[in-house]
Amino acid sequence: MWVQLDQVETTMASLTTDFHTERNTGGFATFDNRGANAAFSFGDGGRLGQQSRRTKPGRTKLAPGVWYHVAGTIVGPDSITVYLNGENDGGRYDGSAESVVYSDGSANIGRRTVTPNAPPIYFSGA
């Protein structure tokens, strides 16, 4: 995807599967508020939280107003790659999920529902 962030103050989702029956499932691409790093994640179907999610953010801090090409692959728990402008962006893994559990929830572009009781998080940019 090509992205241009308007801000880096909150975690923003770009591609996700929707929150489904209080389970952390599917794959998702986000931009992390701790530095606006592009990140790819998957959930193993457990409760929300680090123990049921595996994430790999890239190393580069994205600047607002700059266009970036972001791509990623999720092959397994220790095989997630984040690409920024065609180059492997490295990064360290976070979370401890061991398997990908697919979601039958809706796919979303630019929106992530975190819980059924909270408003969705929207992507801020283009």
pLDDT tens figures, 42-58: 877 777 666 777 888 89
CB atoms within 10 A of CB 88: 11
Longest distance between any two alpha carbons in the chain, whole Å: 38
The pLDDT assigned to 43 comes to: 79
Summarize the confidence of residues 91-95 as an average pLDDT. 87
* pLDDT the model gives residue 77: 81
- Burial of residue 101, with CB atoms counted within 10 A of its CB: 0-12 exposed, 13-18 middle, 19 or more buried: middle
Core vs surface per residue 7-25: b (16+ CB within 10 A) or e = ebeeebbbbbbbbbeebbb
- pLDDT, tens digit, for every residue of 26-42? 777 777 766 688 888 88
